């Protein structure tokens, strides 16, 4: 039986609205509709599919403020971030609207005939999204999946369904046919896992925790179902003594405290070369104390609350007062607030240094040379993102090649662009999203040989 869930604003603990939660039968009906719609959607000409995606992008753009305000209320994202996130959905749709007409196969020289390859859509794609970036992660899956001729059922995180539900309405408004993109709000273990067990769903794109990701990958194995996993991270921000320390220290807080640290790419381990350590910490302290942790609806806010009280408790459990170097500030009163916190962690086996905290807590350690920096960076089971700060270009390239992670930046902390590939090494995931090749992950390559020998 379906039920309803109250959506709570994490910045004031007020009920925003209630949302109907689907049950397995409703998930089945949505998958059935998607399978039905798949027959006609794959036959839409590439130019028309492109036009529809462009129109969807334009409709999202014209609702940017509405979507952003929904995310502020549902997820506690700062209004500045939420506008960027809605803009990211617009941009990803626009970028992949160029893809249907360019998704061409090959002609391969062979003996006795002509050999052609075609990219066929998979059919129904199931996307399971987390609560930390509801809009961008929906867009990263749905835009290339639709462009490649698939239909999509999307399950937003239980806590944060509002923007995804609105995106489904906007898709219809843009002229995307019924059944091509549907959103089913519901529980992960029932509705989400149905994408894994239902044989009409041909691929699952999962973004979330490693615990759920492992179950999904194991479940997909039953049907040899295609699966992409975008999981956790514990990324290193490596700062060499020859770097622009002022710039590295000024930007380090935003590389981990953005979205209140609830970011898989958070640079939650800062590694500093020993000779620059004291100076770096001197510069970091005012930068951390200067982060404006305010009501996320306030235009000046740079960091909002955590998503739930449970998440706040989980984050707090990592902080041992003896290790706290310094802290920023946070509002008191209602809301799931946690002040930005910097730990000096000499023990590299501690939970705070090894586990993904998913909150505004960062650990700082010293390293003595390049080899030790790489050793510390790579001792994590994760490998999602990271940064390297140095003025030595040769070292930057050497270290970039040495760090076992999918999305690195040098003298910058920005690792996500819709036009470049994104995904993790090791336990941060399997597969890549975004970039010029994303459609390959939503297509089967078919080889067709046509004999040209004369019949005897």
Instruction: Verify whether residue 264 is a known catalytic residue.
Output: yes
Is residue 134 within 8 A of residue 157, CB to CB? The reply is yes
Is residue 18 within 8 A of residue 183, CB to CB? The reply is no
Nearest distance from residue 178's CB to ligand NAD, in Å?
24
Give the span between the Cα atoms of 370 and 351, in whole angstroms. Answer: 24
Nearest distance from residue 390's CB to ligand NAD, in Å?
26
Token digits for 106?
């090959």
Token digits for 58?
């334009």
Q: Which residues make Cβ contacts (< 8 Å) with residue 222, sequence separation at least 6?
A: 197
Q: Name the residue nearer to ligand NAD (CB basis): 47 or 189.
A: 189
Nearest distance from residue 189's CB to ligand NAD, in Å?
4
Q: Name the residue nearer to ligand NAD (CB basis): 217 or 291.
A: 217
Nearest distance from residue 185's CB to ligand NAD, in Å?
10
Tokens 């809301």 sit on residue: 335
Is residue 189 within 8 A of residue 122, CB to CB? The reply is no
Q: Name the residue nearer to ligand NAD (CB basis): 75 or 251.
A: 75
Tokens 């944060």 sit on residue: 160
Q: Name the residue nearer to ligand NAD (CB basis): 2 or 40.
A: 2
Is residue 296 within 8 A of residue 78, CB to CB? The reply is yes
Give the span between the Cα atoms of 267 and 316, in whole angstroms. Answer: 18
Q: Name the residue nearer to ligand NAD (CB basis): 25 or 369.
A: 25
Is residue 357 within 8 A of residue 268, CB to CB? The reply is yes
Q: Which residues bind ligand NAD (CB under 6 A)?
A: 128-133, 137, 155, 157-158, 188-189, 192-193, 207-209, 212, 215-216, 230-233, 264, 356, 358, 384, 424, 428-429
Nearest distance from residue 429's CB to ligand NAD, in Å?
5
Which of 401, 403, 406 is closest to 431 using CA atoms? 406
Quote the DSSP letter at residue 454. Answer: P
Is residue 443 within 8 A of residue 120, CB to CB? The reply is yes
Give the span between the Cα atoms of 433 and 436, in whole angstroms. Answer: 9
Token digits for 274?
């020993």
Q: Name the residue nearer to ligand NAD (CB basis): 207 or 323.
A: 207
Nearest distance from residue 403's CB to ligand NAD, in Å?
16
Q: How many CB atoms lie within 10 A of CB 332?
A: 7
Instruction: Verify whether residue 205 is a known catalytic residue.
Output: no
Q: Name the residue nearer to ligand NAD (CB basis): 231 or 374.
A: 231
Which residue's C-beta sits nearest to ligand NAD? Answer: 188
Nearest distance from residue 167's CB to ligand NAD, in Å?
15
Token digits for 319?
């902080």
Annotated active-site residue in 205, 220, 264, 265: 264
Give the span between the Cα atoms of 184 and 202, in whole angstroms. Answer: 17
Annotated active-site residue in 26, 71, 85, 230: 230
Q: Which residues are known catalytic residues?
A: 230, 264
């Amino acid at each position: 039986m379906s039920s309803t869930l109250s959506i709570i604003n994490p910045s004031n603990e007020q009920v925003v609205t209630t949302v109907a939660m689907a049950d397995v039968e409703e998930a089945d009906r949505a998958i059935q509709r998607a399978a039905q719609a798949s027959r006609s959607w794959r036959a839409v000409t590439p130019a028309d599919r492109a036009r529809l995606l462009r129109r969807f992008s334009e409709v999202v753009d014209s609702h940017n403020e509405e979507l952003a305000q929904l995310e502020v209320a549902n997820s506690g994202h700062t209004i500045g971030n939420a506008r960027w996130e809605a803009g990211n959905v617009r941009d990803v749709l626009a970028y992949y609207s160029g893809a249907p007409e360019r998704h061409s196969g090959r002609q391969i020289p062979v003996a006795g005939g002509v050999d052609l390859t075609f990219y066929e859509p998979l059919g129904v794609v199931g996307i399971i999204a987390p609560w930390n970036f509801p809009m961008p992660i929906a867009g990263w899956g749905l835009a290339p999946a639709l462009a490649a001729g698939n239909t999509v059922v999307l399950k937003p995180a239980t806590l944060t369904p509002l923007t995804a539900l609105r995106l489904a309405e906007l898709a219809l408004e843009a002229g995307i046919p019924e059944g091509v993109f549907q959103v089913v709000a519901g529980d992960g273990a029932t509705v989400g896992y149905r994408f894994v067990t239902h044989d009409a769903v041909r691929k699952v794109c999962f973004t979330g925790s490693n615990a759920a990701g492992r179950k999904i990958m194991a479940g997909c194995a039953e049907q040899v179902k295609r699966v992409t996993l975008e999981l956790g991270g514990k990324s290193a921000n490596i700062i060499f003594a020859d770097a622009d320390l002022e710039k590295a220290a000024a930007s380090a807080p935003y590389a981990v405290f953005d979205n209140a640290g609830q970011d898989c790419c958070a640079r939650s381990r800062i590694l500093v070369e020993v000779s620059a350590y004291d100076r770096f910490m001197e510069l970091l302290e005012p930068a951390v104390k200067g982060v404006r942790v305010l009501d996320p609806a306030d235009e000046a806010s740079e960091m909002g609350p955590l998503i739930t009280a449970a998440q706040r408790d989980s984050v707090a459990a990592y902080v041992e007062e003896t290790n706290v170097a310094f802290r920023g500030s946070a509002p008191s009163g209602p809301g799931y607030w946690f002040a930005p916190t910097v730990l000096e962690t000499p023990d590299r086996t501690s939970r705070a240094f090894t586990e993904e905290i998913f909150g505004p807590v960062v650990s700082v350690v010293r390293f003595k040379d390049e080899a030790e920096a790489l050793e510390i960076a790579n001792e994590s089971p994760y490998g999602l993102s990271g940064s390297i700060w140095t003025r030595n270009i040769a070292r930057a390239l050497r270290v970039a090649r040495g760090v076992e992670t999918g999305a690195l930046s040098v003298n910058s902390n920005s690792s996500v662009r819709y036009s470049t590939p994104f995904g993790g090494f090791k336990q941060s995931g399997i597969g890549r999203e975004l970039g010029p090749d994303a459609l390959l992950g939503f297509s089967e390559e078919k080889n067709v040989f046509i004999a040209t020998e004369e019949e005897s």
